[in-house]
Amino acid sequence: MKIINVLYAVAAVFILYFISVTGAGCAQIGAPTGGPRDTIPPVLVSAMPKLLSTHFTGNKITLVFDEYINVLEPQKNVIVSPYPKSFPIISFKLKEVSVKLKDTLLDNTTYAINFGNAIVDNNENNPFKDFTYVFSTGNTIDSLKLSGKVIMAETGKPDSTLQALLYRDAVDSTVETRKPNYIARIDRNGIFTFTNLSEGVYKLYALKDGDGGKTYNSKIESFAFVDEDIRINGKNDSVRMYAYEEEKDLKKKTAVAVKPSAVKKLKFTTSLGTNGPQDVLTNLVLTFNNKLKLFDSSKILLTDTNYNKIADAAILLDSTRKIITITNKWPLETAYRLVLPKDAIADTANNVLAKSDTLKFQTKKEADYGILTLRFSKLDSTRHPVIQFLNSSEVVKSVKVTGREWTDRFFAPGEYELRILYDANNNGIWDPGNYEKKIQPEHALTLDKKLTIKANFENEREIEL
């Protein structure tokens, strides 16, 4: 008994010594911090039924992974082909993903459930990339493919918000009346690929589906079509399509602004800015804070420095009744006066200007502009090329390319995006397609390199058409 007591005493002394040395008596238990971030995606451990199963007869698929997982927005990110009437129920728990099929499966058909990047690990959202579960109700797995590219016809740029649609046993009106047999994503480069297809005749389209119906039912939806049927036989070349909106969406505007409270004083600003010279390429614009009820253009005068009226000038009020535009052929380095009497205008509350005003300004000089020379190679005049200059996605100038060199000695300085439009009907503007008449849209190409125009400088660019 004494020996046991001695052993207990020694043990107690040892524990007290260990606590005093390590400070364990005041330590807190917690998870370790730091260390590298988890970048490893989940790994598929098993699938039931197995991948590439044939003679599939069930309605449930179970996928097991090596770690806890999540499925991000399956209704949005998962694509089932052939496209089902009823979307399957996709759920997940711990390390398993379950897919319950709601449709009756077609005989002798290969199905593909494309998860894209929807399956991620639960900690860092590392995706199990580009995963597709494939099975067949028949003896074989169909393996034919069809690839292509969709470009927005007006800009020459891709748009990944479109989807490619593929139909079997279809006529021209089918895309307007029923959902497709197959859907494929379009990536940021405009590329799409249909997989696990059987040999046959198909119709191919692309659509930005505004209402989620998977049918082309509005002329304001971005849409593309291939003129002829496509026979898929394993020897298919990549297909190129040009998407367009037949009509512009006039409702696609910014949010309705809150109606401002009434302003008692009538004021205006000008396009001249702060004592800025007048651009000889544009109009002089006055913008008022209130809508005008009274506008007497005969009292508003554009004159020279001796107050002689400029006879060719036009002074107009726009449809909003808040903007007055003064148009004139502005010569370089010329002084003007704009006489604005207080009784020439009044707003809807009968407010007038605080006093009559006279704007004194001068037009820009030649050195304020850049000289631009474009030289074109491989010019094919039968395609009626048009060079378009864009600023903030708006076309500010269009010029028909009729020769191998074009020069403008008065080009406004700034940075521009360049676009080549192949103007099939030679009317100087881009024209959309028409599916009913089987008219393809005119094609445009936005050049990769932007154009910078410097003032008082000879700017040049070589463009290969």
- Model confidence over 247-277: pLDDT tens digits? 988 766 544 455 555 567 899 999 997 768 9
Q: Report whether 432 contacts 245 (CB < 8 A).
A: yes
- Residue with structure tokens 């406004």? 412
- Reply yes or no on whether the pLDDT at 10 is more than 50: no
Q: Domains, the chain, ranges and CATH? A: 44-136 (2.60.40.1220), 144-243 (2.60.40.10), 268-364 (2.60.40.1220), 368-464 (2.60.40.1120)
Reported as a pLDDT band with limits 50, 70 and 90, residue 36 is confident
Per-residue pLDDT at 22 exceeds 80: no
- The whole-number average pLDDT for the span 194-219 is 94
Pick from 65-69, 102-106, 258-262, 326-330: least confident: 258-262
What percent of the chain is modeled with pLDDT above 90? Answer: 83
Alpha carbon 421 to its chain's center: 20
Per-residue pLDDT of 158-179, as tens digits, reads 999 999 999 999 999 999 999 9
Give the single-character DSSP code of 130: T
pLDDT number for residue 249? 80
Mean pLDDT confidence for 404-432: 95
pLDDT band for position 234 (cuts 50, 70, 90): confident
DSSP per residue over 423-442, as a string? Answer: -TT-SSS----BTTTTBPPP
314-317 and 268-270 strand pairing: unpaired
| CA-wise closest residue to 109 among 87, 129, 139 | 139
H or E element in which residue 418 lies: strand 414-422
Indicate if the pLDDT at residue 329 is higher than 70. Answer: yes
Report whether 111 contacts 80 (CB < 8 A): yes
| Pairing relationship of beta strands 385-391 and 394-400 according to DSSP bridges | antiparallel
- What is the residue-wise DSSP string for 113-127? EEEET-EEETTT--B
pLDDT of residue 366: 95
Q: 65 near 128, Cβ under 8 Å?
A: yes
Question: What value does the mean pLDDT take over residues 328-348?
Answer: 95
